[in-house]
Amino acid sequence: MTAHRSAGHADRAEAELPPPRRIALPGATVACWDAGGEGDPVVFLHAAWGSGEHWAPQLTSFRRAGLRPIAWSRRGHYGSDVGPAQPPPTADDLDALADTLGLERFHLVGTAYGAFEATDYAIARGERLLSLTLACSLCGIADPDFVAETARLVNDAWHQLPIELRELSASYRFTDPAGTEQWRRLTARALTQRVEQPALSRITRAAIAGIAAPTLFLTGSEDPYMPPPRMRALSEVRVASRFEVIPEAGHSASWENPEAFDRAVLAHIAATPQPGGRALG
């Protein structure tokens, strides 16, 4: 069994979070945490209730692994502007961010709603991706049977529950109350205003099957939205995709069990063929 991080590890991860850089995008300025490093860049997309701050554990561990981890807050999230009433797609923001940071190609990791955006980007702008990780997410799939399946799993009554009950597993809340409180504090300040940014693509299983980037599908063993059998079935639409389950984690697996989450993503990145035909590592 993979152990959860301790509360002390959570505190160290936040303490090591570098100051955010303010990056100007069309119509808005966003907060970006660039941990630096000489290796391939890895860009992280946060959940609907999150911000770049929630990737603190990954900014530390991926930097130690020799990569260049980058997290940012989307429009309307902690440290970032709301912008105009009719904002551009997140994919356009991501391209502008990557251009500003000098990223020609990069690995992309999205969790929960962030994986909606990552999926859209991979469908529309996949030539820029080295690899893709979709974690604990419905991925924005619009197939009618998939939408009906979601409504059966998480109904209206479910959405009335407190956010920590929906996003964090009982295992994590029992095991790490200090980490739970830290997550609650970061989440309370994460969303300043909901900004609806349009997608570039209609996301379907067929569209996901056509993604060119090597793709890892991850979910928590206790994720109510994408339980392991459901995420496994989604992974099977992609030829040669990878599938992993993060033990004792719910919908926020990257926070609840960062050791297992990071190990899975780093293994995926290491196995990804580079433009010259070789794998990393």
* Domains (range + CATH), the chain: 7-201+214-271 (3.40.50.1820)
- If pLDDT is split at 50, 70 and 90, which confidence band does 279 have? very low
Across residues 26-36, what is the average pLDDT?
96
* The pLDDT value given to residue 204: 98
Q: What is the dihedral of CA 192, 198, 204, 210, to 10 degrees?
A: -110
Q: Which residues of 24-45 are buried (b: 16+ CB within 10 A; e: fewer)?
A: ebeebebbbbbbebebbbbbbb
pLDDT in tens, 135-178: 999 999 999 999 999 999 999 999 999 999 999 999 999 999 99
| Separation CA 194–CA 91 (nearest Å) | 17
pLDDT in tens, 3-28: 444 444 444 455 467 789 999 999 99
Neighbouring C-beta atoms of residue 74, cutoff 10 Å: 26
* The pLDDT value given to residue 17: 77
Helix (H, G, I), strand (E, B) or coil at 231: helix
The single residue listed with the structure tokens 């409180």 is 181
* The pLDDT value given to residue 240: 83
- What is the pLDDT of the chain when averaged over all its residues? 92
The single residue listed with the structure tokens 């940071």 is 101
β-strands 28-34, 68-72: how paired? antiparallel
| Separation CA 19–CA 63 (nearest Å) | 15
| Separation CA 220–CA 132 (nearest Å) | 18
211: DSSP letter: -
Say which residues have a Cβ less than 8 Å from residue 32's Cβ, sequence separation at least 6. 20, 21, 22, 23, 52, 70, 71, 72, 73, 97, 101
